[in-house]
Structure 1
Amino acid sequence: MNPNEVLDIGMQALILAGKLCAPVLVTALVVGFAVSLLQSITQIQEVTLSFVPKALAVAVALLVAGHWMISETVAFTHQIFERIPSLLGG
């Protein structure tokens, strides 16, 4: 196993991590921005007003994108397991 293979696997893992966290983070960002904009317009400064919609939106994003996230993780795992013999030099 040479350093290039290790770096390739690490890069693929980081790309996968970015792809998996993107739907949740973008959803939280958009909902958080919308709620803070609403709070600044109406001057309502309630803590739960910013937390509850964001938590609900993240839960919905996980429900919508969850199947895709799991299938991407399983595909990556299968790819790594298939590469084990070549990584060990066999």
Structure 2
Amino acid sequence: MTPQLTLDIFAEALWLVVLLVTLIILPSLLVGLLISMFQAATQINEQTLSFLPRLIITLGMIMWAGPWILTRLLDHFRMIFEAIPQLIGVV
């Protein structure tokens, strides 16, 4: 097992997590910003007005990008599974 192989696996996993979280959370942040600007302009301070659209957008992104997310996760786990002999030093 080389440290470089382990670091490469962790670096790819970290990048995958950042990519997937950004894909799900960024649209929710943008919708939250738009709603906050609307609330500031109209001085409506209702918490559910901000929460519900963000929840709907987040769930929509998960549904829309779900197959791609699952494919990326399965590819990464397959790569880790195939690298097990190299990690334990058999090959």
Unaligned runs of 5+ in 1: none
Query: Post-superposition shift, 1:22?
Result: 1.2
Q: What's the counterpart of residue 29 of structure 1? A: 29
Q: What's the counterpart of residue 88 of structure 2? A: 88
Q: Considering only aligned residues, what root-mean-square deviation do their CA atoms show, in Å?
A: 0.9
Deviating 4+ runs (over 4 angstroms): none
Unaligned runs of 5+ in 2: none
Quick one: which amino acid aligns to residue 78 of structure 2?
A: H
Q: TM-score, normalised by structure 2?
A: 0.93
1:53-75 deviation line (CA, Å, top 9, x unaligned): 10011011111011110000000
Give the distance between the partners of 1:10 and 1:23, measured in 2 at CA.
20
**Number of aligned positions between the proteins:** 90
Q: TM-score, normalised by structure 1?
A: 0.94
Quick one: which amino acid aligns to residue 64 of structure 2?
A: V
What secondary structure does 1:27 align onto? helix
